[in-house]
Amino acid sequence: MKAAVFIDGGHLRVLVRQAGYRYDPDYIEAVALACVAGDETLLRILYYDCAPYQGNPKLPVSGKPARFQGSDEWLRELAAKSQFAVRLGTLKFRGFEPKRVPIASAALSDEDFKPRFEQKGVDMRLGLDIAAYAADRSVDRVILVTGDTDCLPVMKRARTAGLQVVLVQFPKQRLARELLWHSDFQRFVEWPGPEAPPD
């Protein structure tokens, strides 16, 4: 049975870090391969994320320029791995927000705020790719790593086209019931590698 793995990078990154593992291309590859069952033939792994934001917005209290200079080298390294395709959306800066609410009555500093970012275009690219695979029937199964209910319409589309949808669940992860309702199989996958160190 031919299968493709679709990974929502923002979702997976949160889970991996919560589990205490390092989020890098080698570990992403190990997780993706762990999601494939023994009776499945892997066609491709599609990974969806955003390159780090780069810019110099003004800090909220001092007005000094902040500096965001993240590197996207790790995404290029991931894209070079066998059977991987990396699809990039855009990371938009949406201002600063307080780290704690309510805001303290004492004088505030820049340290009391954190940047807020929003991914744009990631869900759309994931949905378009699954719809394309459903249209040409190049796979029999879609293995989906996400927690986003925005994927529901394309999950329904894939199933209507005759593809099976496998929803991956990792240890201690809770999935929305709606995602389970519109998948064919729920697959429990353990984190690959040695046990993560305690926090």
Q: Record the pTM.
A: 0.81
Say what angle helices 122-136 and 152-160 make with each other, to 10 degrees: 0
Which pLDDT does position 93 carry in this prediction? 64
pLDDT at 198: 45
State the pLDDT at residue 110.
75
Return phi, psi of residue 94, to 5°. Answer: -115, 25
- How far, CA to CA in Å, does 183 sit from each of 48, 63, 145? 20, 48, 12
pLDDT of residue 199: 43
d(CA 126, CA 99): 31
- Phi first, then psi: give them for residue 134, nearest 5 degrees: -65, -35
- Strand locations in the chain (E): 2-8, 41-50, 54-55, 68-69, 84-98, 113-120, 141-145, 164-169, 185-188
Predicted pLDDT at 91: 62
CB within 8 Å of 154: residues ≥ 6 apart = 126, 127, 130, 131
Residue 22 structure tokens = 């390092």
| pLDDT at position 28 | 96
What pLDDT is recorded for position 70?
Answer: 72
Domains along the chain? 2-90+120-188 (3.40.50.1010)
Which positions of the chain have pLDDT values less than 70? 53-58, 90-95, 104-105, 115, 117-121, 195-199
Residue 178, C-beta contacts closer than 8 angstroms, at least 6 positions apart: 149, 152
The two three-digit tokens of residue 184, written as one number: 């064919």
